């Protein structure tokens, strides 16, 4: 799994003119799933997202996690995170999981994050034409890949 994590003061997703998910302070997480991803990858990433200390403390240092600031998550599925651009100018998405694998993993991520945070997770709609807007706070943007979890 790959995730692009952005600390935001506001983020929303609109599909066909209707808001599907909206948050104030928190994280906009764009999530890509590949065929090799496992439940272990999902649990590791969910734990990291909830506990990532990237929010400012009283001294302005990034020492607080999402739970410390009462933040929320807007989770957006995005297969293009697995674009391969080595050859030519048209990206290949062969590493991205097909919907029969990606949808259950995306839904499981929503459930896992909701359980860890103790609140509803705002979302987009899988495979829809989504319009995502955000106000990046910082800006703080972090890219995580579960393939890196064992390389510490």
- Extract the tokens encoding 119: 């609140």
- Extract the tokens encoding 39: 């439940």
Terminal Cα distance for the chain, rounded:
17
In the set 80, 85, 112, 141, the catalytic residue is 80
**Known catalytic membership, residue 141:** no
CA distances from 144 to 2, 14, 29, 122, 148 (A): 6, 25, 10, 20, 8
Residue 95: DSSP 8-state: T
Residues annotated as catalytic (active site), given as ranges? 80
């Amino acid at each position: 799994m790959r995730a692009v994590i952005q600390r935001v003061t506001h983020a929303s997703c609109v599909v066909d003119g209707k808001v599907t998910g909206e948050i104030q302070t928190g994280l906009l997480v764009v999530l890509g799933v590949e065929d090799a991803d496992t439940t272990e990858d999902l649990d590791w990433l969910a734990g990291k997202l909830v506990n990532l200390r990237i929010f400012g403390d009283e001294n302005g240092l990034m020492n607080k996690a999402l739970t410390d600031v009462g933040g929320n998550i807007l989770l957006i599925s995005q297969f293009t995170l697995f674009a391969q651009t080595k050859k030519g100018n048209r990206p290949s998405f062969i590493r991205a999981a097909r919907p029969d694998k990606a949808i259950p993993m995306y839904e499981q991520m929503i459930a896992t994050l909701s359980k860890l945070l103790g609140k509803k997770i705002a979302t987009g709609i899988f495979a829809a034409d989504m319009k995502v807007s955000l106000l990046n706070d910082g800006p703080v943007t972090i890219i995580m890949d579960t393939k890196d979890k064992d390389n510490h």
